[in-house]
Amino acid sequence: MKIGFIGLGIMGKPMSKNLLKAGYKLYVYDIIPENVKEIEAAGAKACGSVKEVAENTEFILIMVPDSPQVEEVALGDGGLLEHAKPGTLVVDMSSIAPLIAQKVGTKLAEKGIRFMDAPVSGGEPKAIDGTLSFMVGGSKEDFAQAEPVLKHMGASVVLVGALGSGNTTKLANQIIVALNIAAVSEAFSLATKAGVDPEAVFDAIKGGLAGSTVMNAKVSMILDGNFKPGFKLNLHSKDLTNALDTAKNLGVPLLLTSQVFQMVQYLRGQGEGENDHSAIARFYETLSDVEMRKS
Protein backbone atom coordinates (compact mmCIF):
# COMPACT_ATOMS: atom_id res chain seq x y z
CA MET A 1 0.00 0.00 0.00
CA LYS A 2 1.29 3.45 -0.94
CA ILE A 3 0.91 6.15 1.72
CA GLY A 4 1.60 9.86 1.54
CA PHE A 5 3.11 11.44 4.65
CA ILE A 6 3.26 15.24 4.96
CA GLY A 7 5.11 16.72 7.94
CA LEU A 8 8.33 15.15 9.23
CA GLY A 9 9.07 16.98 12.47
CA ILE A 10 9.67 15.65 15.99
CA MET A 11 6.61 13.42 15.73
CA GLY A 12 6.39 12.79 12.01
CA LYS A 13 9.88 11.35 11.65
CA PRO A 14 9.50 8.41 14.04
CA MET A 15 5.88 7.81 12.99
CA SER A 16 6.85 7.57 9.33
CA LYS A 17 9.76 5.26 10.20
CA ASN A 18 7.36 2.90 11.96
CA LEU A 19 5.22 2.73 8.82
CA LEU A 20 8.30 1.93 6.75
CA LYS A 21 9.16 -0.86 9.20
CA ALA A 22 5.63 -2.19 8.72
CA GLY A 23 6.28 -2.51 5.00
CA TYR A 24 4.32 0.42 3.60
CA LYS A 25 5.69 2.39 0.67
CA LEU A 26 5.82 6.04 1.73
CA TYR A 27 5.86 9.21 -0.37
CA VAL A 28 7.01 11.93 2.02
CA TYR A 29 7.19 15.71 2.03
CA ASP A 30 8.27 18.40 4.48
CA ILE A 31 9.17 22.06 4.05
CA ILE A 32 12.58 21.26 5.59
CA PRO A 33 14.63 19.30 3.01
CA GLU A 34 16.88 17.72 5.65
CA ASN A 35 13.86 16.04 7.24
CA VAL A 36 12.85 14.57 3.89
CA LYS A 37 16.39 13.30 3.27
CA GLU A 38 16.43 11.51 6.63
CA ILE A 39 13.24 9.60 5.89
CA GLU A 40 14.33 8.97 2.30
CA ALA A 41 17.45 7.33 3.71
CA ALA A 42 15.16 5.07 5.77
CA GLY A 43 13.46 3.87 2.58
CA ALA A 44 10.80 6.42 1.65
CA LYS A 45 10.27 8.13 -1.70
CA ALA A 46 11.13 11.83 -1.39
CA CYS A 47 8.65 14.33 -2.82
CA GLY A 48 9.21 17.99 -3.56
CA SER A 49 5.67 19.19 -2.92
CA VAL A 50 2.22 18.36 -1.57
CA LYS A 51 1.17 18.01 -5.21
CA GLU A 52 3.70 15.23 -5.82
CA VAL A 53 2.49 13.35 -2.74
CA ALA A 54 -1.13 13.66 -3.88
CA GLU A 55 -0.37 12.49 -7.42
CA ASN A 56 1.24 9.28 -6.18
CA THR A 57 -1.02 8.18 -3.32
CA GLU A 58 -4.67 7.80 -2.33
CA PHE A 59 -4.10 7.55 1.42
CA ILE A 60 -2.42 10.62 2.91
CA LEU A 61 -1.32 11.37 6.46
CA ILE A 62 -0.68 14.91 7.72
CA MET A 63 1.42 15.73 10.81
CA VAL A 64 2.08 19.48 11.01
CA PRO A 65 2.16 21.98 13.92
CA ASP A 66 -1.20 23.79 13.87
CA SER A 67 -4.40 24.80 12.08
CA PRO A 68 -2.80 27.26 9.60
CA GLN A 69 -0.39 24.61 8.34
CA VAL A 70 -3.19 22.05 7.93
CA GLU A 71 -5.24 24.59 5.96
CA GLU A 72 -2.24 25.36 3.77
CA VAL A 73 -1.57 21.68 3.03
CA ALA A 74 -5.21 20.86 2.40
CA LEU A 75 -6.71 24.03 0.92
CA GLY A 76 -3.80 26.26 -0.11
CA ASP A 77 -2.28 26.79 -3.54
CA GLY A 78 -0.85 23.49 -4.76
CA GLY A 79 -2.59 21.67 -1.92
CA LEU A 80 -4.71 18.55 -1.63
CA LEU A 81 -7.93 20.25 -2.69
CA GLU A 82 -6.34 20.92 -6.09
CA HIS A 83 -4.37 17.72 -6.59
CA ALA A 84 -5.73 14.80 -4.54
CA LYS A 85 -7.75 12.24 -6.48
CA PRO A 86 -11.45 11.80 -5.72
CA GLY A 87 -11.83 9.02 -3.18
CA THR A 88 -8.50 9.78 -1.51
CA LEU A 89 -8.57 9.41 2.29
CA VAL A 90 -6.73 12.16 4.15
CA VAL A 91 -6.04 11.59 7.85
CA ASP A 92 -4.83 14.64 9.74
CA MET A 93 -2.88 13.62 12.83
CA SER A 94 -2.04 17.21 13.81
CA SER A 95 -3.58 18.85 16.88
CA ILE A 96 -5.77 21.68 15.58
CA ALA A 97 -8.97 23.56 16.37
CA PRO A 98 -12.04 21.30 15.92
CA LEU A 99 -13.82 23.93 13.81
CA ILE A 100 -10.87 24.04 11.40
CA ALA A 101 -10.96 20.26 11.05
CA GLN A 102 -14.64 20.49 10.13
CA LYS A 103 -13.97 23.33 7.69
CA VAL A 104 -11.19 21.41 5.93
CA GLY A 105 -13.30 18.27 5.77
CA THR A 106 -16.24 20.14 4.26
CA LYS A 107 -14.09 21.76 1.57
CA LEU A 108 -12.36 18.52 0.61
CA ALA A 109 -15.66 16.66 0.47
CA GLU A 110 -16.78 19.02 -2.31
CA LYS A 111 -14.10 17.38 -4.47
CA GLY A 112 -14.87 13.85 -3.30
CA ILE A 113 -11.86 13.73 -0.97
CA ARG A 114 -12.46 12.04 2.39
CA PHE A 115 -11.05 13.55 5.60
CA MET A 116 -10.58 12.46 9.22
CA ASP A 117 -9.04 14.18 12.23
CA ALA A 118 -6.87 11.86 14.30
CA PRO A 119 -4.65 13.78 16.75
CA VAL A 120 -2.29 11.83 18.95
CA SER A 121 -1.08 11.81 22.54
CA GLY A 122 2.17 10.44 23.85
CA GLY A 123 4.90 12.77 22.60
CA GLU A 124 8.16 11.81 20.94
CA PRO A 125 8.96 8.76 23.14
CA LYS A 126 5.71 7.02 22.23
CA ALA A 127 6.02 8.11 18.61
CA ILE A 128 9.38 6.34 18.53
CA ASP A 129 8.16 3.08 20.07
CA GLY A 130 4.84 3.12 18.22
CA THR A 131 2.58 3.34 21.28
CA LEU A 132 0.77 6.62 20.65
CA SER A 133 -2.90 7.12 21.46
CA PHE A 134 -5.07 8.18 18.50
CA MET A 135 -8.34 10.07 19.01
CA VAL A 136 -10.19 9.82 15.72
CA GLY A 137 -13.11 11.77 14.30
CA GLY A 138 -14.86 10.72 11.09
CA SER A 139 -17.10 8.10 9.53
CA LYS A 140 -17.06 4.44 10.54
CA GLU A 141 -16.30 3.46 6.95
CA ASP A 142 -13.23 5.69 6.72
CA PHE A 143 -12.11 4.57 10.17
CA ALA A 144 -12.18 0.95 9.06
CA GLN A 145 -9.67 1.81 6.33
CA ALA A 146 -7.47 4.02 8.50
CA GLU A 147 -7.35 1.92 11.66
CA PRO A 148 -4.91 -0.78 10.45
CA VAL A 149 -2.43 1.89 9.35
CA LEU A 150 -2.71 3.92 12.54
CA LYS A 151 -2.16 0.81 14.65
CA HIS A 152 1.38 0.59 13.33
CA MET A 153 2.03 3.93 15.06
CA GLY A 154 -0.19 3.65 18.12
CA ALA A 155 -1.21 1.28 20.89
CA SER A 156 -4.67 2.85 21.13
CA VAL A 157 -6.80 3.89 18.14
CA VAL A 158 -10.32 4.97 19.10
CA LEU A 159 -13.10 6.43 16.97
CA VAL A 160 -14.68 9.01 19.27
CA GLY A 161 -17.32 10.49 16.95
CA ALA A 162 -17.91 12.60 13.86
CA LEU A 163 -15.33 14.84 12.18
CA GLY A 164 -13.90 17.30 14.72
CA SER A 165 -14.47 14.95 17.66
CA GLY A 166 -10.87 13.79 17.52
CA ASN A 167 -9.52 17.26 18.15
CA THR A 168 -12.14 18.01 20.79
CA THR A 169 -10.96 14.89 22.62
CA LYS A 170 -7.34 15.99 22.19
CA LEU A 171 -8.16 19.37 23.77
CA ALA A 172 -9.59 17.54 26.79
CA ASN A 173 -6.43 15.43 26.90
CA GLN A 174 -4.16 18.47 26.77
CA ILE A 175 -6.07 20.23 29.53
CA ILE A 176 -5.63 17.22 31.80
CA VAL A 177 -1.92 16.87 30.95
CA ALA A 178 -1.14 20.57 31.52
CA LEU A 179 -3.03 20.72 34.81
CA ASN A 180 -1.41 17.47 35.93
CA ILE A 181 2.09 18.82 35.27
CA ALA A 182 1.21 22.03 37.12
CA ALA A 183 -0.20 20.09 40.08
CA VAL A 184 2.89 17.87 40.25
CA SER A 185 5.15 20.93 40.06
CA GLU A 186 3.22 22.74 42.79
CA ALA A 187 3.28 19.73 45.12
CA PHE A 188 6.94 18.90 44.58
CA SER A 189 8.03 22.52 45.04
CA LEU A 190 6.29 22.47 48.44
CA ALA A 191 7.95 19.19 49.44
CA THR A 192 11.39 20.32 48.28
CA LYS A 193 11.10 23.69 50.04
CA ALA A 194 10.16 21.82 53.22
CA GLY A 195 13.41 19.88 52.99
CA VAL A 196 12.04 16.53 51.80
CA ASP A 197 13.92 14.73 49.03
CA PRO A 198 11.65 15.06 45.96
CA GLU A 199 12.82 11.70 44.62
CA ALA A 200 11.68 10.06 47.87
CA VAL A 201 8.34 11.85 47.57
CA PHE A 202 7.94 10.46 44.06
CA ASP A 203 8.75 6.92 45.19
CA ALA A 204 6.28 7.22 48.06
CA ILE A 205 3.27 8.50 46.12
CA LYS A 206 3.57 7.18 42.58
CA GLY A 207 1.81 3.91 43.44
CA GLY A 208 -1.11 5.59 45.17
CA LEU A 209 -4.12 7.57 44.01
CA ALA A 210 -1.96 10.60 43.12
CA GLY A 211 0.09 8.52 40.72
CA SER A 212 -0.40 9.05 36.99
CA THR A 213 1.15 8.47 33.59
CA VAL A 214 2.03 12.15 33.48
CA MET A 215 3.79 11.97 36.85
CA ASN A 216 5.76 8.91 35.81
CA ALA A 217 6.83 10.52 32.53
CA LYS A 218 7.62 14.04 33.74
CA VAL A 219 8.88 13.90 37.33
CA SER A 220 12.08 12.09 36.32
CA MET A 221 12.76 14.85 33.78
CA ILE A 222 12.15 17.58 36.34
CA LEU A 223 14.35 15.91 38.96
CA ASP A 224 17.15 15.54 36.38
CA GLY A 225 16.75 19.13 35.20
CA ASN A 226 16.27 17.65 31.73
CA PHE A 227 13.81 19.69 29.69
CA LYS A 228 14.77 18.36 26.26
CA PRO A 229 11.51 18.46 24.33
CA GLY A 230 9.39 15.41 23.84
CA PHE A 231 6.50 17.85 23.49
CA LYS A 232 7.38 21.53 23.35
CA LEU A 233 5.86 24.11 25.65
CA ASN A 234 5.10 26.23 22.57
CA LEU A 235 2.94 23.44 21.17
CA HIS A 236 1.12 22.98 24.45
CA SER A 237 0.46 26.73 24.46
CA LYS A 238 -1.14 26.32 21.05
CA ASP A 239 -3.34 23.49 22.30
CA LEU A 240 -4.47 25.45 25.35
CA THR A 241 -5.24 28.44 23.12
CA ASN A 242 -7.45 26.18 20.98
CA ALA A 243 -9.11 24.82 24.11
CA LEU A 244 -9.86 28.28 25.48
CA ASP A 245 -11.14 29.51 22.10
CA THR A 246 -13.39 26.47 21.75
CA ALA A 247 -14.66 26.90 25.30
CA LYS A 248 -15.44 30.56 24.64
CA ASN A 249 -17.53 29.63 21.60
CA LEU A 250 -19.40 27.02 23.64
CA GLY A 251 -19.82 29.11 26.79
CA VAL A 252 -17.83 26.67 28.94
CA PRO A 253 -15.68 28.08 31.81
CA LEU A 254 -12.12 26.70 31.93
CA LEU A 255 -10.87 28.33 35.11
CA LEU A 256 -7.90 26.10 35.89
CA THR A 257 -6.89 25.90 32.23
CA SER A 258 -6.78 29.70 32.09
CA GLN A 259 -4.42 29.82 35.06
CA VAL A 260 -2.03 27.24 33.65
CA PHE A 261 -2.16 29.00 30.29
CA GLN A 262 -0.85 32.17 31.98
CA MET A 263 1.98 30.18 33.54
CA VAL A 264 2.88 28.85 30.11
CA GLN A 265 2.82 32.34 28.62
CA TYR A 266 5.16 33.58 31.34
CA LEU A 267 7.58 30.74 30.66
CA ARG A 268 7.51 31.38 26.92
CA GLY A 269 8.41 34.99 27.66
CA GLN A 270 11.39 33.68 29.64
CA GLY A 271 12.67 31.73 26.64
CA GLU A 272 11.35 28.32 27.70
CA GLY A 273 9.04 27.79 24.72
CA GLU A 274 11.23 25.26 22.91
CA ASN A 275 11.69 23.20 26.06
CA ASP A 276 9.52 20.26 27.09
CA HIS A 277 6.18 21.11 28.71
CA SER A 278 7.57 19.66 31.95
CA ALA A 279 9.29 23.07 32.15
CA ILE A 280 6.05 24.25 33.78
CA ALA A 281 7.99 23.21 36.88
CA ARG A 282 10.32 26.16 36.32
CA PHE A 283 7.42 28.53 37.02
CA TYR A 284 7.13 27.12 40.53
CA GLU A 285 10.89 26.95 40.99
CA THR A 286 11.08 30.67 40.23
CA LEU A 287 8.26 31.59 42.62
CA SER A 288 9.48 29.32 45.41
CA ASP A 289 13.20 29.94 44.92
CA VAL A 290 13.88 26.22 44.95
CA GLU A 291 15.05 23.60 42.46
CA MET A 292 13.30 20.24 42.44
CA ARG A 293 16.31 18.03 41.82
CA LYS A 294 17.68 14.70 42.97
CA SER A 295 19.87 15.02 46.03
Residues forming the active site: 170
From the list 64, 65, 15, the residue with the least C-alpha distance to 38 is 15
User: Alpha-carbon distance 49 to 99, whole Å?
Assistant: 26
Query: What are residue 97's phi and psi, to 5 degrees?
Result: -70, 135
User: Alpha-carbon distance 167 to 242, whole Å?
Assistant: 10
CA 259, 263, 266, 267: dihedral to nearest 10 degrees? -160
Q: Is 117 helix (H, G, I), strand (E, B) or coil?
A: strand
DSSP per-residue codes, 238-255: HHHHHHHHHHHHHT---H
Q: What is the CA radius of gyration of the chain?
A: 20
